[in-house]
Each structure stands twice: as structure tokens, then as C-alpha cells.
Structure 1
Amino acid sequence: MGDKVQEILSGASESDDVAHEFDSTVLQRYQTLLLDTKQKVGGRRFDQLQAVFKVAEIVLLALGGLLGFVLSFDFVGIQMKILIWTFYLMLLIFVGLTVRIVPSELKSLNEEVTRIRLINLCERLAGQLALFDLIYDDDFKDKDERNIIEDLSDCLPTFDSLSEEDKETIRRCLDDSQIFGNSRETNISLNNLEISDKSADRLNRATKEIVDLCPYIFAGGSFTAKLYLRTEMEVSNDEMVEVLTSFTKYPAPSNRPRGSSWVKARGNPSIVWQALEDSQPRHIHEQDLGEYYDSVLAIPLPGRIGVLAITSDRIDAFIDKDDEISVRALSVASRANALQALEISES
């Protein structure tokens, strides 16, 4: 997938390096000092100061002829003449550098900033285009929502096969008198899904490709992705519970390849249930929000059959970047890949 993005970007990412090379370390340091000073005092005040230096340079050049005439007389000793000329030349060089070095570098910096912004935009657009390449069957048609959920539910283990802790969690979620203040009280582990190794591998590869694309779409950071699909589990003959079941997660530890799933409950549902019920993307960010992430973007899939949850270790990973094009691309690609991997198609 990285190669695919690079191929898309091959024409856009080639750009000349506009940074100037200087032979003198002292010159580089002086240049940096001037640029830092410009930032501190502000552009307008620094431009005024620079105009003063331009006037000073003209005055110094005019004084050079006068100084040469005065020093031609014998009343000034040789050593004093050398000292005066040395001071004059140093002052002229200092003023000349201050006048010339900053405008050239600022222009280069502005060009570099523009170039970087254009490359980032190209990378983002390439990432969005590459997402649609994940949909590898254009003629694919799927069933309606109800039938899809029924087929997905066939992948669940039986209620009796769950751990006692997970059974108790489900019972509490079914109790209408229970109102949960912490959504983590509603998660369970469903690692033993009834899906083939081929389907599991296909889901994992598709999720990995989405994770690989996230730095291009959301501009940097470390990401994980988890695909939740909407299922129903039979608890008893007359009781059913809805679960947003994690079918795949990347990356994931070997002992928990799919992570947690979320039972529907009253009170404070998880962000994935909020996104599904509102049919709108949900984004939260907070320092140490999770064990390894500071922000989450939950994207409902078309037909409300599930949710794609993307996490990042950067608290600002999704701020002003979860635009409609990116979200729709991720949503459509995730739905298509999930149904194709699980071989759920229109009968």
C-alpha cells in the first residue's frame, strides 16, 4: 500500500531543494539569529529596522570616499589608518549582510513552507484515492441491513461458551435498571469468532492497509484501527443482546487479536455505539484517553452495520482533518472489505 501511495505521488513529490548552502558556520549562525529576531520583534518592526540598515549602508558607502580622502593626509599614523579602515569595513560588511541575507532566506523559507503544504495535500488526496482501491469488486452488491446483521451474528460464539465475567456483564447490560457511568463496564472479549482463517486474514490485511494510509490522511502519528460489526447474541430463548463485535484489530497482541467488543447498554454507551446510533462520526481526544492512545475517531459504516474505530497517540491527530471525503472513503472501503472478506453477498 505504501508503494501504491508513492506511485500516486511520484509526480507531485519531486521538488527542488530551495534551502541555501553556506560555507561559513558563522554566517549560518548570524542568519539564524536574524530570523529569530524577526520572529520576536514582529515582521513590521523588523522591516522598519531593516530599512534603517539600508539607509545606513548608503551613508557608509558615501562616507567611504570621504574617509579615504581624510586618511590620505600624513597627520594620521599608519597603524591608526589600518585600525580605522578595518573598523569601517567590518561595519560595512555587518550592515550589508543584515540588509541582504534576511530577505533572501525569508523568501526561501516561504517557498519551502508552500512546497511542504502542497506535498502534504497531495499525500492526503493520494491516501483518499488509495482507500477506494481497497474495494476490489465494483460489481459487489450486498443484502439489506437486517439480513447482514443476521449473517454477522452467525459468527458469534454461544453465550454459554463465554467466561463468567462476560456473562455477568451481558446480564447487567440487559437489566433496564442498570445505568452505566463508565462505558468500559460494558465491554467483553469475543476472540473465538466462527470465521475462517482466510476471512480473518483478509480482514486483518484490509485493516492494516487502512492503518498504513492513516498517516497520509491525518498527517502523521501512530495509528491503530479496529472494525466493529453489529451482531445479536441469544442469551436465552426470549432474550437477545446487541453487541458491536470486534472482528479485526491492527496492530493487536497475539493473545487478544481482536480486542474488546461492546455490549449495548443504557446510560453512557461507548463512542462506537454513539457513532452507530447517531449515524455520524464521533471524535474524542484527551490526554491518556486509553492505554496507548490520546484520540479516537469512530466512523459508522453505511447501512449502520458497524463502526470503524481509529485511534492515535497524538491528541490532535483528527482535529480539523476528519473531513467528509476522508470519512466517507474510510466508511465505504471498510464496509465493502468486511462483507467481501466474510463472503456476505446478496443471495
Structure 2
Amino acid sequence: MNTKQFLTLSSVSLVGASAALATADYGPAVDRMITGCSKWYTSGYGHKFAVVHSMEGYYLTGTSYLRRCDISASCHYTVNGKTDYAGDAAPGEISQLVREAYYAWHATCWNQHSLGTEHEGFVGNPAWFTDAMYQASALLHRHFADKFGFAKDRNHIVGHGEKSNAAWCSYASANLGINPYCNTHTDPGPYWNWTYFMSLINPPAPVIVDNSNAGFTASSAWATGTAAGDKYGANYRWRSTQAVSDPASWSASNLPAGTYKIYAWWSAGSNRSTAAPYIVYHSGGSTTVTMNQQANGGKWNLLGTFNLNAGTGKVSLSCWAPSGYVVVADAIKWVR
């Protein structure tokens, strides 16, 4: 934050709960635009990089503070870390204060070149830098880079205290058109996990395991089919539904910990089960998701979003479903 004052839970009034989602530039954000004054520049030199701040305070009170017209500081967005008290916002909630087209007052001489986001928390305490915050902020910063066309790297997504990074100062002087030394702050500080944050902004490529890959296992009761035109790859496996435990399984190795969207691909047909039971294994245990394989063949179908521990991701397809049909085991995709 450009004006560093410790923000206690009682120091300023909470932002009204009636704030709307509909008009924010970034879809998931709550519209808490600054009103009654113009704490931004309407023109600048292009949004060439983004600055990560910690607000040295709490999310709702910090957001209210930055909206005050008697405070000469602003930012484009604020991000919540954790629920601090009854009635607090959910971890990972984002508020927009200044339109992305404008230039907020968050980093002195960098203002007219950058976007700024304040994060709940304190330089000296990592407790508020939660996974929900990292996940939400990473998607926001990916949005910045995609919208304004700058690279998703540490030359273009930086901390308020980046002046201590000599390599970045050289890069910024040569490429960003700024004085990298005009800020005196150190946030977000030593506890901000840049490696993890950047891995979320630049997720690994999707992992696909087809029934023909080494990560797939099934008993000999699962026949091989090739006739369907909407299959993934050269073939698929199928089995008649039956009240027995004989699943086909897909395993993806060396997955980093994180939140994944998991998809299934099958070939559709009138003889397929309308309640094909996929079992998704995740950090909380396992979840069974039933899918109608008579429809939506030949494409990726979302099973859900799940948190996975580092290591192997696994999905199984059971044949234990109403009799008289078949279940088709083709391919699974993990997307972080």
C-alpha cells in the first residue's frame, strides 16, 4: 500500500455487503469502485506490468480505507486472505476499486505504467497468505497479462519492494520506462511465495491419460472397442454394467499439489449407461460423480473441480450401475 497505516478491524467501517458483482471489469470481482472522488490517472503509458502489495491490514477494512477520498492512495483490486471474524468475506474474494482502463495511485512513479493489487495481510506474518488468496490472485494476474499483453513472468508481475532485486531494476530501467528505485516499501515481503504464485499464473500443461496409455488399468472383462467415431484416440474400453467391483482406472503421476478441473471423454451411444459412476480421488478422499454416457460423446466433460495433493491423481470408472447397459472407459484429463 502506498500510504502505510496499520488497519485494525475497527479503524474504518466495513464495506457494504450490498456491493454488486455485475459491473466489475474482472468477472469474479465484487464491484466496490471508489466513488465521490477520482483517485486515479485517466491516462498513462500503458499497463506494462502488475504490482503485488500487502495492505498491512484486513481485507474489508483495508478496502474501505482505500475507498476514502481523504486518503491519497488507491489500487485496482484488493484480495482477501482468510475469514477473520463473523460476517467477514470469504477467503479469495476480490474487490475492484479502480477501472482497469485507469491508473491507480499505488506505487508512486510506477503508477502510470502498471496495475496494482492489495492483498490482505502483513509483511511480517504469512498467516493471511492463504491458498485461496494465491489461487484467486493468480487468476486475476493471468487476466491482467492476457488483457494487456505483457509476459507472465517476474519481470512483469512484481512486488512493491522489487527495488531490492537488482536484475529486475536493470530490466525495468531498460524496458519499462520507469525509475525502479522510486518506491521505498518492502511488501509483500519475505513470506510471499513467489514460486508457488507464479506456478499458478503459469499452470502446467493439461495431463491426459487415454485408455491406451501406461497410466490406465482395467481387467480383461473390459473389452476393447474401435467402432465409435467419437472416441479419443484409436480405441476405448467398455464393460457391461454389473453389481461387482471391477473398475477401470486412470492414474497421472507427478502432479503438483493444487486445484484441478478433471474431465472425462467417452463415446456416446444408446446402449451406454445414463449413470456411469466415476470415482475421483482427491485430497479430501474420494467423490463419486455419475455421468450420462448416452449424451455428450466426443468431447471433454467436466467431472468437477478438486484439490489434489502432490503426487498421483487417480480416477476410476465403476461398472456398478443399473444393469442392461455398458460403461465406456476412454480418457481422463487433469487441468490445473
TM-score by length of 2: 0.22
Larger-Rg structure: 1
Comparing both structures, which one devotes a greater share of its residues to helix? Answer: 1
Comparing both structures, which one devotes a greater share of its residues to strand? Answer: 2
